A = this chain, B = another copy of it.
Amino acid sequence: MKFVTDSFPVSTNAHNQMLDISDKVRNAVEKSGISNGSVLVFCPHTTAAITINENADPDVTHDVLLTLSSLIPHNNAGYQHSEGNSDAHTKSSLVGCSETVIIKDNRLQLGTWQGIYFCEFDGPRKRTVNLQITGL
């Protein structure tokens, strides 16, 4: 039974962006030598998030980001936080800062259309993704 921690950098280039990090997670799992277990993909930032969604048609992430920005206004007379990124903090808590994916027989057990995304809500920025790979 092993616990392997790892991390990789992510550079975002838009204010709101969903970046497919599936291959980076896959590479880290392969490097860990763990063939059965799970990988926790964790975002250590409070204006970003991790999600799993469709990776076939890039229009999906466009529409998800559009809907989030329609729902959660960038400006609101009631906001008190002085940095002007309260919308990004809210998106972060709604989408969530981690996902856990099953590893079975050396493969991430994702659905056919699923990819793992780093969600930037206050970019562009340099970010980090932390991983913990657990298993045998």
A-B contacts, 14 listed (Cβ < 8 Å): A44-B110, A45-B114, A46-B53, A46-B60, A46-B111, A52-B93, A57-B81, A57-B82, A63-B79, A63-B89, A64-B86, A71-B71, A93-B95, A109-B130
Chain B: CB-nearest residue to A40: B100
In the complex, whether A14 has a CB less than 8 A from a CB of chain B is no
User: Which residue of chain B has the shortest Cβ distance to A45 in the bound complex?
Assistant: B111
A19 within 8 A of B: no
A63 near B81: Cβ-Cβ < 8 Å: yes
A38–B89 CB distance below 8 A:
no
Q: Chain A, 108-122, contact with B by CB distance < 8 Å: what is the 0/1 string?
A: 011111100000000
